[in-house]
Amino acid sequence: MIIVTGGAGFIGSNILAGLEKSGYKDLVVVDYMGTGDRWKNIAKRELAHIVLPEQMHEFLNEHKSEIDAIIHMGAISTTTETDVDLIVRTNQQLTWYLWEFCRDNNIRFIYASSAATYGDGSNGFEDRDDLEYLNKLRPLNAYGWSKAFFDRKVAREIAENRPTPPQYVGLKFFNVYGPNEYHKGDQQSVIAHIFPAVKANEEVKLFKSYNPDYKDGEQLRDFVWVGDIVDVVLWMLSHQEVSGLFNVGSGVARSFYDLALATWNAMELPPKIYFKDMPETLRGKYQYYTCANLDKLRRVGYNKPMTTLENGVKEYVQKYLNQSDMFL
């Protein structure tokens, strides 16, 4: 049995699809469905159970002898969330409970960290897991802080030689895009945001730059196709001897202009790209550059090439966004 928390969410539902395709059985989702279309993210999956978060503790204790791994994608992932108590309960306390449960019951544990832990990037984008480095990172928002807090907590357990789950893997996701993100509202990828305008052959607007080192639209991000995330998770499950904290991105920094241009090209339309003011609330918390260093992931043996921006955007647009059924 494999449990995916946040399994009806964006990355979680893609992982479920990958697990199913790879032949894994007895898949369990822990998540809320709500009143919208989140259920469509898992509607095509063959699932053993759907468990609401408040039922999770009881379910885990009843089935602990059957569980092989918990893939913990459930989180408050909104970078603009201001309810820090909610973030603490969900991103820190719940994650630690699952760590302890996996440790005490010999269950493998894979969890989502984030590139948001790196803050403005002034300390680099190295997926080191020593406390000296982790304590230097300064996230720009409460979401990033919550992920960094847990990374540090794990590092402290390791440094003090305390017991751990048999396999523990933290994955620092960069800017992920792909199908099943439609419920995320303002937190959807730029591709999903601009696609309706592109399809209608209307102009799209990107944020202006407020950093003199970057021209409008030339702010750089590591955009990573969600299928690459899934491949890394599947690889980790098949390599139980690997534990640690790992960056998962494309390994290449590309501009938002490149991203928008790739979206227009996927629709075979000439681009219409303009620029708009950035909300003042974001200007002081905005990352102008992110890029995953993948050396550590490569050193442990993961050697599959990452999807290029152009190929990922083309697949997303043509196989999902421009179809009547957009769901994986």
Among 152, 157, 112, 111, smallest CA distance to 133 is for: 152
Which residue out of 111, 118, 143, 168 is catalytically annotated?
143
Angstrom distance (rounded) from CA 323 to CA 286: 33
What is the 3 state secondary structure string of 62-130? Answer: HHCCCCCEEEECCCCCCCCCCCHHHHHHHHHHHHHHHHHHHHHHCCEEEEEEEHHHHCCCCCCCCCCCC
How far lies 235's CA from each of 4, 29, 182, 232, 293, in Å? 16, 20, 27, 5, 18
Active site residue 143: yes
Angstrom distance (rounded) from CA 302 to CA 300: 6
Active site residue 276: no
Angstrom distance (rounded) from CA 128 to CA 290: 16
Structure tokens at 144: 């990033």
Which residue out of 64, 153, 184, 285 is catalytically annotated?
184
Residue 110 β-bridge partners: 71, 169
CA 312 to chain centre: 16
Active site residues: 143, 184
